[in-house]
Amino acid sequence: MNDLLNKIEKALDEYTSIPHSHYMDKVFEAMRYSLLDAGKRVRPMLTLLFAEAAGGSIENAMPFALAVEMIHTYSLIHDDLPLMDDDDMRRGKPSNHIVYGEDIALLAGDGLLTLAFEACLCEKAISAVGYEKAAKAALVLSKYAGVRGMVGGQCIDVMSAGKITRENELFEMVSGKTVALLKAASIMGVIAAGGNEKQVKAAEDYAQGLGMAFQIRDDILDITGDPTTLGKNVGIDEKNDRFNYVSLYGLAGAQILVEQFTDEAIKALDAFENSTLELKNYALKLINREK
């Protein structure tokens, strides 16, 4: 695991070391400030682990792992802006706009969003997996990151503040806001490895369970978590009048759901012939995560 994390870190650094004019110094610094040496790297880990599970290599899947982490980081930068969640701390340091200003933070997010698609379709990606798989992966990423996925879920979140009180609406919001990008991460790993449709479906099902568990644990940590360990502020949902799984089931009930959704994720792994022990252990590790 640590070896994979180091490889992701090194590749993110290399991929964002792009020659540029001095007018762009600040935006590149801002992009790298939020992207590098930060975060748990859940999404790129899923891409790499699913690539291995489907019989592929870490190296060939790496451009897609970088892409999903860049999209995730852009969403965090934009989410922290005063016009969204208005949060001043992220990944253990002041949020991007606190350091670079709102204009540069917006552009740094845009820069990461678009660079992600360049990573999927760059020369290295094409020579690793070929045009067809690279295009398929880019399509999956665009679908799950956009209005059909993460952006759609975020729209429900923004438009529904104080209004959602039913579980089916909450499920729809979380399936977009949090689950969709985890699905993209997992499916892209299978695609990069040349996996079959059954494996694509299994990766999707695993991410559905893991993503629900991940978000519900996030809701719990928003109440019980330590801001220093988490690297972000707590009490955000209450501040923003957001209904979540803890409002619905209480802390203990929500933790039971975390375990149930994790079980569902693990069951989906039966579709793979190669060992999926690391994916299983990864899901189990996230059940009691404190950050």
Binding mask 202-241 for ligand GRG (x = CB under 6 A): -------------x--x-----------------------
Q: Of the candidates 116, 268, 123, which has an alpha carbon nearest to the alpha carbon of residue 188? A: 116
Residue closer to ligand GRG (CB basis): 27 or 128? 27
106-107-111 Cα angle (round to 5): 125
Identify the residue among 14, 17, 18, 40 touching ligand GRG (CB under 6 A).
40
Q: How far is the CB of 126 from ligand GRG (least distance, A)?
A: 27
Would you say 76 or 212 has its CB closer to ligand GRG? 76
Distances (CA, A) of 73 to 32, 138, 193: 10, 17, 25
Nearest approach, Cβ of residue 40 and ligand GRG (Å): 4
Q: HSE of 167 in the Cβ direction (CA atoms, 13 Å)? A: 8
CB of 234 to ligand GRG, least distance (A): 13
154 binds ligand GRG (CB under 6 A): yes
150 is a site residue for ligand GRG (CB under 6 A): yes
Nearer to ligand GRG, 132 or 259 (CB): 259
Single residue of 47, 60, 67, 79 touching ligand GRG by CB under 6 A: 79
Counted residue by residue, the chain has a size of: 291
Please work out the total of residues on this chain that contact ligand GRG, with binding judged by CB under 6 A: 16
What secondary structure does DSSP assign to 66-127, as a single string?
A: HHHHHHHHHHHHHHHSTTTT--SEETTEE-HHHHH-HHHHHHHHHHHHHHHHHHHHSHHHHH
Q: Give Cα separations from 59 to 140, 160, 189 (angstroms).
A: 20, 41, 11
Interacting residues toward ligand GRG by CB under 6 A: 39-40, 42, 72, 75-76, 78-79, 91, 150-151, 154, 177-178, 215, 218
